[in-house]
């Protein structure tokens, strides 16, 4: 199940579970759409994986399976996208 992390790892912007601007990789590294477009160019800086839009969890499901509240922030990782 997706963790639905609450913020962008690059800019610490809030990304609530209903946000359509949240992007994740296969490991659920979570970024906002703006960082993905302007800084990361669609590639996760942590694992070099593909970033896709995080699906929105319906409210009823969210009540049973709440989103994560653990904020993860790695601003230093966002300027150095893996090139290998
Ligand atoms: Zn961001
Ligand atoms: Zn990743």
pLDDT tens digits, one per residue of 33-42: 999 999 999 9
Is the entire prediction scored with pTM above 0.85?
A: yes
Query: Is the pLDDT confidence value at 4 over 90?
Result: yes
C-alpha 65 to ligand 2 mean position (Å): 23
Residue 63 CA to ligand 1 center (angstroms) comes to 26
> Which pLDDT score is estimated for 75?
83
Q: How many Å lie between the centroid of ligand 2 and the Cα of residue 46?
A: 5
Ligand nearest, relative to CA of residue 37? 1
Which tokens in the block code for residue 41?
């160019």
- The answer to whether 41 and 49 are in contact (CB under 8 A) is no
* Distance from the Cα of residue 5 to its chain's centroid: 7
pLDDT, tens digit (0-9, with 9 covering 90-100), for 53-68: 999 999 999 999 999 9
Which of 48, 19, 49 lies closest to 32 in space, CA to CA? 19
What mean pLDDT do residues 36-55 have?
96
Helix (H/G/I), strand (E/B), else coil: 62 = helix
CA–centroid distance, 2 to ligand 1, in Å, is 19
């Amino acid at each position: 199940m997706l963790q639905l992390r609450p913020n962008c790892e690059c800019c610490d912007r809030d990304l609530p579970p209903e946000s359509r601007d949240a992007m994740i990789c296969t490991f659920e590294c979570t970024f906002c759409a703006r960082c993905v477009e302007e800084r990361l160019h669609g590639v996760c800086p942590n694992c070099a994986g593909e970033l896709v839009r995080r699906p929105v969890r319906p409210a009823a499901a969210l009540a049973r399976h709440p989103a994560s509240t653990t904020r993860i922030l790695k601003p230093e990782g966002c300027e150095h996208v893996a090139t290998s």
